[in-house]
Structure 1
Amino acid sequence: MLVHLRMTVPDDLSHTIETLLVDDDRVTNVVVMRGVSVQPVGDAIEADVAREAASDVIDAICATGLPERGGLAFSDVDGSRFDAAAAVGRAAPGDPDDAVLWGAVIDRARTSARPSATYLAFLVLATVLASIAVITDSAVLVVGAMVVGPEFASIAGACVAVAFGRWGLAVHGLARLVAAFAIAIAAVMVLALVARWTGLITAEMVTRPRPLTGFIWHPDQWSFIVALVAGAAGVLAMTTAKSAAMVGVFISVTTVPAAGNLALALALSAADEIRGSASQLALNIAGMLVAGVLTVWLQRALRPAPRT
Structure 2
Amino acid sequence: MASQKENSNPAVVTGKSFTAVAINTAAKAGEWIKSKLGSYGQLSLKTSAQDLVTEVDKGSEKMIRNLISTHFPHHTFLGEESVGQTEEEKQEAIARASEAEYVWVVDPVDGTTNFVHGFPFFSVSIALAHKGEIIVGVVYDPSRDELFVAEKGKGAYVHGNKMKVSRESELAQCLIASGFPVDQQKTLPPNMRGLQALAPQVRNIRTSGSAALHMAYVAAGRLSGFYELGLNAWDTAAGAILIQEAGGKVTDTLGNPYRLSTRHTLASNGIVHSSLLEVIKQADAQG
Which TM-score applies when normalising by structure 1? 0.25
Which TM-score applies when normalising by structure 2? 0.26
Q: Whose strand proportion is higher, 1 or 2?
A: 2
Rg larger in structure:
1
